[in-house]
Structure 1
Amino acid sequence: MSQVEIKSRDEIALMREAGRIVSEILDELEKAVAPGVTTWDLDALAEKLIYQKGARPAFKGYHGFPACLCASVNDEVVHGIPSKRRTLREGDLMKLDFGVVYRGFFGDSARTVPVGKVSSEAEALVKATREALNKAIQAMVAGNRIGDIGHAVQSHVEARGFSVARGFTGHGIGRHLHEKPEVPNHGQRGSGMKLRPGMVLAVEPMVNQGTDEVMVLEDHWTAVTRDSKLSAHFEHTVLITEGGPEVLTRRRAG
């Protein structure tokens, strides 16, 4: 993609449907997260639900990624590969990053789900990351700039003693999973591209308990915190409108 796409009314309608499907499937995946469940089990459930809803996986086969779901646990920041050998345990943090293609348009969202009872430190990290996503969405107003989004995330999490995972950003989304512009989780107010109605952006704070440094494992996908401390991740696909941001992947359950 050489330039930022402004979506038409018909394209936005299809993206609303893609976002609805993503949210409904994430609701079911979240319900399935429990001690004893494998990340492979969650991926199999995701794939079954995708086809039941008339969509296609957004991630499976993308640059060779082998699964429908990015399933990252604890110190895994993003892009964890589901495995029959990875069994969830009480106290884990399960990151569900998931997308679909519906009639040619993508939806993308992520949630961090505590497995049973987690530590107070883990709860604080999840709360701060969820709040950072909400702060980012509040900044997604026509006339604001990309830097306002990143500043909203960075200032919120750093004030609480956490750090923004470096090397990963949010992104434009539409007919492609990743479109321009990049949407960093750090930045300066008033910097970067101006937000315009019709833009659709996937904004996704990835927040670390300790260092902001991340490394990728030998599978060439799974990114982990360099200090092995916890990480949390939330994401929504958001439409910029004249009247404010519209979350296309907003939660349906609860």
Structure 2
Amino acid sequence: MDQNTPRVEPVIAVTDLRRSYDGQVVLDGVDLSVPAGSVYALLGSNGAGKTTTIRILATLLRADGGTAVVAGHDVATAPDRVRESISLTGQFAAVDEILTGRENLVLVARLRHLAEPGRTADELLARFALADAGGKRVATYSGGMRRRLDIAMSLIGDPPVIFLDEPTTGLDPQARLEVWRTVRELAHGGTTVLLTTQYLEEAEQLADRIGILHGGRVIVEGTLAELKALMPPAEVRYVEKQPSLEEVFLAITSTESTEGSLR
């Protein structure tokens, strides 16, 4: 790096993070660094500690050791400042099914003491392609629509950092693609996104950098290209390319939707 180039501090910086439950070590020295405006995917199997890491960064859980800084604030010594800078979307959409989509957004905007909650709600409904459904009860929404509404609610107040804990769990392929599009738009707009996932394809599609959490530590991290370079050189073979089941599903359902709209 050129000596004249100013050093850019990461928006999320974690060093030697540790946490145990009843003597069971879950995090055993986690280190990670997330630049501003990027998408960082934390991969790991069930029980690897992904959600524990997110909960510590979101100030919902105290670490046993190590340090974590989010948006320039230490999660242990300045939790209130951290909460002002973040939003957290968990594995299940935290929306009120009795209310309409717009009412959910207005409620959160009022809780955040925004001056024009109605205007904020309408802007987010348009941004997340939910304007036509804004007046309908959330109980009538599809899984993808609920997740988009959930993420829209998390953006009220323009937090610079978003935590997405397994955002596409339980969603069908089409809904998952909708969420992927939303995450890409967030990062394009300058929001820093840390997401956890078990889906390798999700990390491939979304992440600027990927960390693999295993045995309580991030054992390797880097760009997709850097991680692929860790493997032996690819052996070139000529094979017949067959569509995946997901590609078949999306092709059939999109065709049915098109034909149905023409009837």
TM range (shorter): 0.3 to 0.5
Structure number with the higher helix fraction is: 2
TM-score (norm 1): 0.32
TM norm structure 2: 0.32
Question: Which is greater in Rg?
Answer: 2
